[in-house]
Amino acid sequence: MFSGPDRELLRDLARRLAAIAALPVQAERRELWKQHNSLEPVRPMLLVFPEGSWVELVPFKSLRCEHPVARLFELELRQRLYHHEHFPDDTVMEREWIVNKAIRSSGWGLEPRRRHSDTERGAWAFDPVIVAPSDLEKLRIPKIEHDEGETQKRLEAAADLFGDILEIKLKGIAQMSYHLMNEYTGLRGLEQVMIDMIEAPEMLHDAMGFLAEGHRRILEQCIEQNLLSANNDSTYNSTGGNGYTDELPPAGYDPDRVRPCDIWASAEAQEMAQVSPRMHEEFILQYEKRLLDPFGLTGYGCCEDLSGKLDAVLAIPHIRRISISPFADVERSAEKLGDRAILSWKPQPAHLIGQFNEARIREYLRHAIELARRNDCVLEIILKDTHTCEHQPDRFDRWLEVARQEIARVSS
């Protein structure tokens, strides 16, 4: 598939990754995550996801492969190596290469429409395609299809390229994550959905009911076609964290036929951030609860402030991980959660831009860590949504150094 130079470069990067994955620290971190995800007391766990900043840390122009697919493989490997070399967090580097099954969805019958900015990476505006209740009739239940031939080609290509260096792991759907309000506002428009809660509540309930039923039937299709994959491993979980746990899968597990009760799932509704707890429960959470009920462990939330809605969130079936965003009241959240669920705290990413104020960052992190300790919280600190570091990669390194020092101070 790739030229000799591309192939040798990728294999060399894979060998470096395999050597890192063999370090004893990986097994230590894996065990810490298992305890943490089971709500056993360990030190606060720490993760970094550069996300938008990756274009500054590993620029695409720095890649050496020529084939476009080889460049994507190179990018993934170089990001994993960079992470190990620069980010002393609790990421477990696994000796694996994930091959995703070729799974397609026919979609919902309507596609979101947007008005895009002329500015590079600029904001876009909603351009609604659902403008009247009758437009809901255009929605269709998605049909899920698996192209087994394409999957086999991907598997064979990965085995040929990396099979003697990395473990080739075939994955179907390992991230079950529900975003009903995001899907609907993409079709209806966010401002209009806010108005609908008052002026057209029945229409909004009809839409949520249809999407929830659609996702229930998507899950049925995934089960029928045997497309679910275990995620009690390094799989990204909810909006941060991972799936390492000894609690899943439960008794009766068949690795050749994964069930919903064997895996983690999650949901979020960032669009409802400014909505009251009552309306949040009425218009979205009741539907999300039904969808999450079949799964073994669940997570909830993303960038929305849930600190005033935690009673309802804690009632989600099998809830284990709850996102406490930069905009949430950490003190109130810590008091409410205690050791009932993981407090998945997302510190403010804006601290990496403008003037890098190390003293302010230290005080900010210390405050949250001490609040968590005082309330017996199971705390994870996840730096994400870092869309830029203003081309100063060392800011991540310095932020992590401060975080590690504060975790060690509180944990000693």
For residue range 235-250, list pLDDT tens digits in order. Answer: 999 999 999 999 999 9
Locus of tokens 């104020």? 357
Q: Do strands 167-171 and 114-115 pair parallel, antiparallel, or not at all (unpaired)?
A: unpaired
- Taking the CA atoms of residue 105, residue 295, residue 259 and residue 107 in that order, the dihedral angle to the nearest 10 degrees is -10
Residue range 80-139, pLDDT digits in tens: 999 999 999 999 999 999 999 999 999 999 999 999 998 887 899 999 999 999 999 999
Does residue 369 register a pLDDT over 90? yes
Percent of residues, the chain, with pLDDT higher than 90? 97
Separation of alpha carbons 254 and 373, rounded Å = 39
Contact 174, 100 (CB under 8 A): no
Separation of alpha carbons 164 and 129, rounded Å = 50
The number of distinct structural domains making up the chain is 1
Separation of alpha carbons 238 and 264, rounded Å = 8
Residue type, 286: Q
What is the three-class DSSP state of 101? coil
Q: Indicate the pLDDT class of residue 258, thresholds 50, 70 and 90.
A: very high
CATH number, domain of 236, equals 3.20.20.210
Does residue 38 register a pLDDT over 90? yes
Whether the pTM exceeds 0.75: the reply is yes
pLDDT at residue 120, rounded to an integer: 83
Which structural domain range is residue 51 located in?
A: 4-411
Does residue 234 register a pLDDT over 90? yes
Residue range 1-19, pLDDT digits in tens: 788 999 999 999 999 999 9
Exposed, middle or buried: residue 321 (CB in 10 Å: 0-12, 13-18, 19+)?
buried
Task: For residues 46-64, give the mean pLDDT.
Answer: 96
